[in-house]
Structure 1
Amino acid sequence: MAARGQLTQSTTRLDALARARQRAALLPDCLAEARRVANTVIAGWHGRRKRGIGETFWQFRPYVDGESLSRIDWRRSARDDSLYVRDREWEAAHTIWLWADLSPSMHFKSDLGLVSKESRALVLLLAAAELLSRSGERIAFPGVLEPVASRNAAERLAMALSLARSGPAGMPDLGRISRSSEVVLIGDFLDEADTLEGCIAPAARRGIRGHAIEVYDPAEETFPYSGRTEFRDPETGAKLVAGRAETVAADYRRVWLARREAMGAEVRRLGWSFLPHRTDRPASEALAALHGRLSGVPGVMKTEAR
């Protein structure tokens, strides 16, 4: 029994090491693609501006009763019969905690997908890091990279991921993240239904804003299988054989869509945003939608339908 247990642990370590090596080999191409994707979105990226303490002028807005009279801009107010306040831009750097699922289920790629789920998640992760670092934000990855404010933050994150022996197990621990931070989670979220909720609910109750991007392969949604088909769980190795896969396609699609609707509704109920993203769509679509949410633009993040 002990020998069998030792053999299992050894095999697990070897599998984790092999996955880490595969991820390290994938990262240079993902970083190059992330920079290309970031450059396609950068024209619409205006930073994450908000009112606060700083020297940079942001906007004029109407004076609100109860505010200090010293904040009124009398020159602007003299142009008409209203009082205006000169707002300045908040210049303190923000910390964005980025996380991507690097578990075995993310390796999946069908003939319908452009890339594997892992590759797309890494591109989105690094492209977001590239954009955020360009606008002066601090970025971090739980358990892999502490908050860093640097123009080459995406490269530093890629290096840290390449040196990590294995991907973080399960959902990240958000307990040590401060209330002033923001979180972006990228994964397929194929765990038990309450796993994602259990991760973000405590953070949401502390006032932490966040965004969940569900990355999935087209085959996982459309179920294009027929005839005798064997399905294997990449996490556990469990197998399921369908004699005539087409007979369960309609039920599968109904359950898949119901699962997503329930998951998205729960995430939004907690005050976070939710974005489903297929790997046969351009990564720039998801990145632009994420940019909209990070910038506080309502109605930008929508479900992609085909």
Structure 2
Amino acid sequence: MASIGESVGSTPARDALTRARQRAMLVPDCVVEARRIANTVIAGWHGRRRRGIGENFWQFRPYAEGESIARIDWRRSARDDHLYVRDREWEAAHTVWLWADLSPSMTYKSRFGTVSKESRALVLMLALAEILARSGERIGCPGIMEPVAARNAAERLATALIHAPDTQGLPDTRMIRGASDIVLIGDFLDDPDLLMENIGPLARRGLRGHLIEVYDPAEEDFPYSGRTEFSDPETGAKLTFGRAETVREDYRRIWFARREALGDHLRHLGWNFVPHSTGALASQALIAVHAYLSGQPTAPARKERT
């Protein structure tokens, strides 16, 4: 969104190499920040909390006629006149696919944001990997890392991301088989209808989706005035306004309409939508998505338009 100067002697190969070096420098700091944020959220993680095969005790519940007598907990039942069954918590590993947009538009950071969109997306992705790995889930990244069930899944994902190419559009998900969760993190500035053409088939295949829209505060508030030049970091196209403040209201109207349309489309498919500003704490988005993944969604507060 902000004015970006043209690079001298720029070529696609040189730009790709520069981006790879920038990400290699960025990822280690993101790992540290992700682990710090994960530690603040991990206390509230309780797995999927459903009964099934496992070793951990979940709850006592009244015995139901027709159940095996061997399941009765006689010690608990002896306390009163009822029979109780000891339930264990389901511990089968679940696969969660994590993906972050690594396209050039994600490098944007205004003076109103605390970090770039790319940095925040990587932190959220790695923090989720850290939390889910501690819960015994299998973590994968489409086209970058096959699912693994390991305590160091976040570190392994970070290493894979350092060598990952820039992305264009949504990831290739043909390798995903069976019912899984997928978390998509990016700015999603494409036309909502075009996005849904790609997301719709994923939902119809049974993927349970969660989309985090990462945006810079300036992209939402449009705090510009006077002569301002805007440059598209992906195409190089430029747009200049003599008095940028005169288009602020129209811009914001279109911005919010796009977000509402995207959110409505996703909810219609049964997917979750979490808008997140780089000016806010990363833990806010992490807590919201973590609640959805654990089957305990909380209704996000609507952002007031100013």
Aligned to 2:138: 138
Q: Secondary structure at the match of 2:192?
A: coil
1:73 Cα offset (Å): 5.4
Residues 215-234 of structure 1 mapped to structure 2, 5 A cutoff = 215-234=214-233
Instruction: For 1:124, give the aligned amino acid.
Output: L
For the Cα contact (< 8 Å) 1:96–1:182, is it kept in 2? Answer: yes
Say which SS state the counterpart of residue 270 (structure 2) adopts: coil
Look up the match of 1:193: 192
Which runs of structure 2 are paired with 1:204-243 in the superposition (5 Å)?
204-243=203-242
In 1, the alpha carbon distance for the partners of 2:298 and 2:26 equals 34
- Mapping 1:125-164, distance limit 5 Å: 125-164=125-164
Partner SS, residue 194 of structure 1: helix
Counting matched residue pairs gives 296
Alpha-carbon distance in structure 1 between the residues aligned to 2:64 and 2:205: 29
Larger deviation, residues 113-122 vs 80-89 = 80-89
Answer yes or no: is 1:171 the counterpart of 2:178: no
Q: Normalising by structure 2, what TM-score?
A: 0.89
Q: Which amino acid aligns with 2:206?
A: G
Give 1:113's aligned amino acid.
Answer: G
2:236 corresponds to 1:253? no
Question: TM-score scaled to structure 1, two decimals?
Answer: 0.89
* Residues 63, 84 of structure 1: 8 Å contact kept: yes
Q: Deviations over 1:17-50 (max 9, x none)?
A: 2111111111111111111111111222223332
Rounded to whole Å, the distance in 2 between the matches of 1:305 and 1:126 is 29
Shift of 1:247: 0.9
C-alpha distance after superposition, 1:212-234 (max 9, x if no partner) = 00000001101101111111111
**What is the SS of the residue equivalent to 1:281?**
coil
After TM superposition, give the deviation of residue 58 of structure 1 in Å.
1.4
Please say if 1:93 is aligned against 2:93.
yes
Q: Distance in 2 between matches of 1:67 and 1:199?
A: 46
Report the counterpart of residue 110 of structure 1 in structure 2. 110
For 2:118, the aligned partner's letter is E
Change over 3 Å in CA distance of 1:301–1:293 after alignment to 2: farther
Distance in 1 (CA, whole Å) between partners of 2:85 and 2:136 is 26
2:51 — aligned with what? 51
Q: What residue number does 1:13 align with?
A: 13
What is the DSSP-based 3-state SS (H/G/I as helix, E as strand, rest coil) of the residue aligned with 1:213? strand
Measure the CA separation in 1 of the matches of 2:64 and 2:97: 35
Deviations 1:54-93 (A, max 9, x none): 2322123456787667656576567677765543211111
Match of 1:293 in 2: 292
Query: What amino acid maps onto 1:149 in structure 2?
Result: A
Q: Indicate if the aligned counterparts of 2:142 and 2:175 stay in contact, CA closer than 8 A.
A: no
Is residue 181 of structure 1 aligned with residue 180 of structure 2? yes
Residue pair 1:101, 1:168 contacting (<8 A) in 2 also: yes
User: Residue in 2 aligned with 1:280?
Assistant: 279
The letter of the residue matching 1:152 is N
Give the SS at the match of 1:183.
strand
Q: Which shifted more, 127-136 or 85-94?
A: 85-94
Q: Cα gap change, 1:194/1:13 in structure 2, threshold over 3 Å: closer, same or farther? A: farther
The aligned counterpart of 2:243 is 244
The alignment's C-alpha RMSD in Å is 2.2
Q: Partners in 2 of 1:298 and 1:143 — Cα distance?
A: 28
- On the 8 A contact 1:175/1:203 being kept in 2, the answer is no
Instruction: State the one-letter code of the partner of 1:47.
Output: G
The one-letter code matched in structure 1 to 2:16 is A
Give the deviation of 1:203 after TM superposition. Answer: 2.0
What is the distance in 2 between the residues matched to 1:87 and 1:108?
A: 50
- After superposing the two structures, state which structure 1 stretch, 204-213 or 218-227, moved more: 204-213
1:125 counterpart letter in structure 2: M
Task: Return the alpha-carbon distance in structure 2 between the equivalents of residues 46 and 74 of structure 1.
Answer: 27
